[in-house]
Chains A and B, each alone.
Chain A
Amino acid sequence: MKHLQYTDLNYSELFDEFRNPNSGAVVLFSGEVRDNNKGREVTHLEYEAYEPMANKMIDEILLEAVSRFNLNQAVCVHRLGRVEISGCAVVVITGAGHRKEAYDANQFIIDKVKNEVPIWKHEFFTDGTSEWGQNCDCVIGTGEHEHDHHHEKAE
């Protein structure tokens, strides 16, 4: 699917394809896998999605961002399956005439993708346990939670 892939994300290639004579600013965000979370050592992550819906929602988010921030281009690709430490889990690239629009749009896209799109992270720890959905970055701007949700622990 256009916005989801099970293979390594090569953001350099995506970035190189992003040249546009109308763009004075191109911003690239790469969400990468940390080796720790809340004091626990992480071995790797696995991502799962309700794929057709996630792909469709990312498409809609990009269209909204292009229109709202007057972008020349926007791309977002999210990994599925196993991602190793320092691997790229999600990439967002935005191109606009000026940097403010490119930065703001990039943040708008990643926040929406993290908070709204049906994609789930499964974290695996060095002690052999694992947990679902503990990134808890469900905040936009003010630091307030956008929604009150529960994070589920796996065995």
Chain B
Amino acid sequence: MDKKLIKIVCFAGLRKYFGSETSVFVEDGASYSGVIDALKALNPEATEVLPSCRIAVNEAFVALNEPIKNENTIFLIPPSSGG
């Protein structure tokens, strides 16, 4: 099966694991949770943190079980802590 490269932009405490940006390969037709799995494989130290993160695309959250559309860049959003 073909794979595609997805760029992931990271914020706040996630930079400790992945820097400001990283990239992973996912299979065509994979869901966004496939990106989370690929990130766990990329840095197993982030395994505990990743389940609490959400993914945003085009400035909106997406469901992890949704298939990845045409986008090449996604935003990995750790739990909010503003205020």
A133 with B79: in contact, given A118-B11, A148-B52, A150-B48 (CB under 8 Å)?
A: yes
State whether A132 and B13 are in contact (beta carbons under 8 Å apart), knowing that A50-B56, A50-B77, A53-B56 are contacts in the complex.
yes
Residues of A within 8 A of B51 (CB): 150
Mark each residue of chain A from 126 to 155: 1 if its CB lies under 8 Å from any CB of chain B, else 0.
000000111111100000000111111111
Assuming the contacts A114-B83, A135-B81, A135-B83, asked whether A50 and B16 have C-beta atoms less than 8 A apart, the reply is: no
30 contacts between A and B (CB under 8 A): A48-B11, A50-B11, A50-B56, A52-B59, A53-B56, A53-B59, A53-B75, A89-B83, A90-B82, A110-B83, A114-B82, A119-B81, A119-B82, A120-B13, A120-B78, A121-B81, A121-B83, A132-B12, A132-B78, A133-B78, A147-B52, A147-B79, A150-B49, A151-B79, A151-B81, A152-B16, A152-B78, A153-B13, A154-B13, A155-B16
10 further A-B contacts with Cβ under 8 Å, apart from A119-B82, A134-B81, A152-B49, are A50-B56, A53-B56, A53-B59, A78-B83, A132-B13, A133-B13, A135-B83, A138-B79, A147-B79, A150-B48
